[in-house]
């Protein structure tokens, strides 16, 4: 019995192997090599930044650090977190990210659901005007003047309201609704007396967790990394997001090699070098921690929203 089972298993495995031709093996080998190469391109710089952030300033300044810390040290992180402005920037960025993402999600979902319905009057012209904004905009100076007229200069709302909806994300969400929420389900709910608003909140949103998670991640990353808008519209330091605070810290602590004349200056120069890498990780790690929670929805949400659009 055991011998017969082994022969059967060997035959089944042999058929699987025989199904792969020589061209198939070459193709998969090339694809695997390319994928490994792309992974190394992404991972090696990250490892280098991590290693430099945990290394002694002398080793960093002399270029001895590659992928592993040299003379392990936490001085870069200690110096970074001793600056109270870091915590101020974290608080502001968390506010901008949470409130801004919720605002973006609300606008995106409210716009995408009606546009996914074939019975929406003037659906094509409305979609045209949405798509038109992807190609043309007013420009920096007109936008600044508009923000100034609205009284949003030096206001938290300028980082929340501006860019309130991404047309790309809206199109992905609209296509997801079209392919996931069948017309029969809408008609059945209408026959049962379900209103449009109730149907949207009780049926559409629970069935759309995948795409909501994906676009929420997109919006959260955008708000977390927001820099240019804050640079343009904010002058009050207490409103600065984390990215602008980190930029200010680096500028205030910039020391060039030409200015290193004394021993103390050399120490400061080495400290700044390792602090630069610590600052990068301080800004990146929190948003990295969010990704694992939405990773299972990521492929499903993007593929359904993009391929069948």
Give the integer Cα–Cα distance in Å for 277 and 118: 52
**Residues 234 and 154 sit within 8 Å (Cβ to Cβ):** yes
| Token pair for 31 | 């694809």
Mean pLDDT of the chain: 80
| Beta-carbon-side half-sphere exposure of residue 267 (alpha carbons within 13 Å) | 4
pTM of the entire predicted model: 0.76
For the cut 60, the answer to whether the pLDDT of residue 265 exceeds it is no
- Nearest of 260, 239, 237, 234 to residue 248 by alpha carbon: 237
Q: What are the pLDDT digits (tens) for 204-219?
A: 888 888 888 888 888 9
List the one residue out of 254, 248, 216 whose CA is nearest residue 234. 248
Higher per-residue confidence, 79 vs 4: 79
Whole-number pLDDT of residue 68: 86
Burial class (CB in 10 A: 0-12, 13-18, 19+), 97: buried
Q: Are 216 and 105 in contact (CB under 8 A)?
A: yes
**Nearest-angstrom CA–CA distance, 124 and 5:** 62
Distance of CA 165 to the CA centre of its chain: 15
Residue 188 — very low, low, confident or very high, per pLDDT cuts 50/70/90? Answer: confident
Q: How far is it, in rounded angstroms, from Cα 165 to Cα 100?
A: 10
What whole-number distance in Å separates Cα of residue 256 and Cα of residue 15? 66
Kind and range of the H or E run holding 58: helix 57-61
- Range with lowest mean pLDDT among 20-29, 72-81, 256-265, 272-281: 256-265
| Mean pLDDT for the stretch of residues 82-87 | 80
Quote the percentage of the chain above a pLDDT of 90.
11
C-alpha–C-alpha distance, residues 168 and 134, integer Å: 8
What tens digit of pLDDT does each residue of 131-170 get?
888 888 778 888 888 888 888 898 888 888 887 888 888 9
**How far apart are alpha carbons 244 and 241 in whole angstroms?**
6
CA distance 190 to 171: 25
pLDDT for the residue 75: 80
Higher pLDDT, 61 or 114: 114
So what's the pLDDT on residue 225? 86
Q: What is the pLDDT of residue 30?
A: 93
pLDDT at position 301, please?
Answer: 54
pLDDT at 303: 56
Element (H, E) at 80: helix 75-82
> Between the ranges 105-109, 204-208, 260-264, 266-270, where is the mean pLDDT highest?
105-109
Can you tell me the distance from the alpha carbon of 167 to that of 170, in angstroms, rounded to the nearest whole number?
A: 5
- For the chain, the C-alpha Rg in angstroms (whole number) is 27
Q: What integer pLDDT is reported at residue 262 of this predicted model?
A: 46
Closest among 97, 306, 112, 301 to 219, alpha carbons compared: 97
pLDDT above 90 (res 80): no
Report the distance separating Cα 178 and Cα 92, nearest Å.
37
């Amino acid at each position: 019995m055991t011998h017969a089972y082994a022969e059967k298993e060997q035959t089944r495995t042999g058929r699987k192997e025989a199904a792969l031709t020589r061209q198939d093996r070459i193709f998969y080998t090339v694809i695997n090599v390319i994928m490994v190469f792309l992974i190394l391109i992404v991972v090696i710089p990250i490892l280098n930044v991590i290693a430099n952030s945990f290394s002694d300033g002398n080793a960093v300044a002399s270029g001895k650090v590659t992928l592993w810390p040299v003379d392990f040290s936490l001085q870069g992180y200690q110096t970074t977190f001793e600056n109270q402005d870091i915590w101020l920037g974290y608080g502001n960025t968390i506010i901008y990210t949470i409130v801004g993402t919720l605002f973006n999600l609300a606008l995106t979902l409210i716009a995408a659901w009606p546009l996914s319905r074939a019975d929406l009057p003037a659906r094509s012209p409305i979609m045209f005007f949405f798509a038109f904004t992807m190609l043309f905009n007013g420009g920096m100076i007109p936008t600044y003047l508009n923000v100034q007229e609205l009284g949003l200069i030096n206001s938290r709302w300028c980082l929340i309201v501006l860019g309130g909806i991404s047309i790309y994300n809206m199109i992905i969400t609209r296509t997801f609704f079209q392919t996931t929420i069948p017309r029969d389900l809408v008609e059945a709910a209408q026959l049962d007396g379900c209103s449009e608003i109730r149907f949207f909140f009780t049926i559409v949103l629970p069935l759309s967790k995948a795409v909501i998670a994906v676009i929420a991640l997109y919006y959260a990353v955008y708000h977390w990394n927001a820099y240019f808008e804050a640079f343009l519209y904010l002058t009050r330091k207490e409103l600065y997001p984390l990215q602008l605070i980190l930029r200010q810290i680096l500028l205030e602590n910039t020391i060039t090699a030409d200015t290193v004349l004394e021993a103390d200056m050399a120490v400061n120069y080495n400290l700044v070098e390792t602090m630069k890498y610590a600052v990068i990780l301080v800004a990146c790690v929190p948003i990295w921690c969010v990704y694992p929670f939405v990773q299972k929805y990521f492929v499903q949400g993007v593929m359904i929203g993009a391929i069948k659009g």
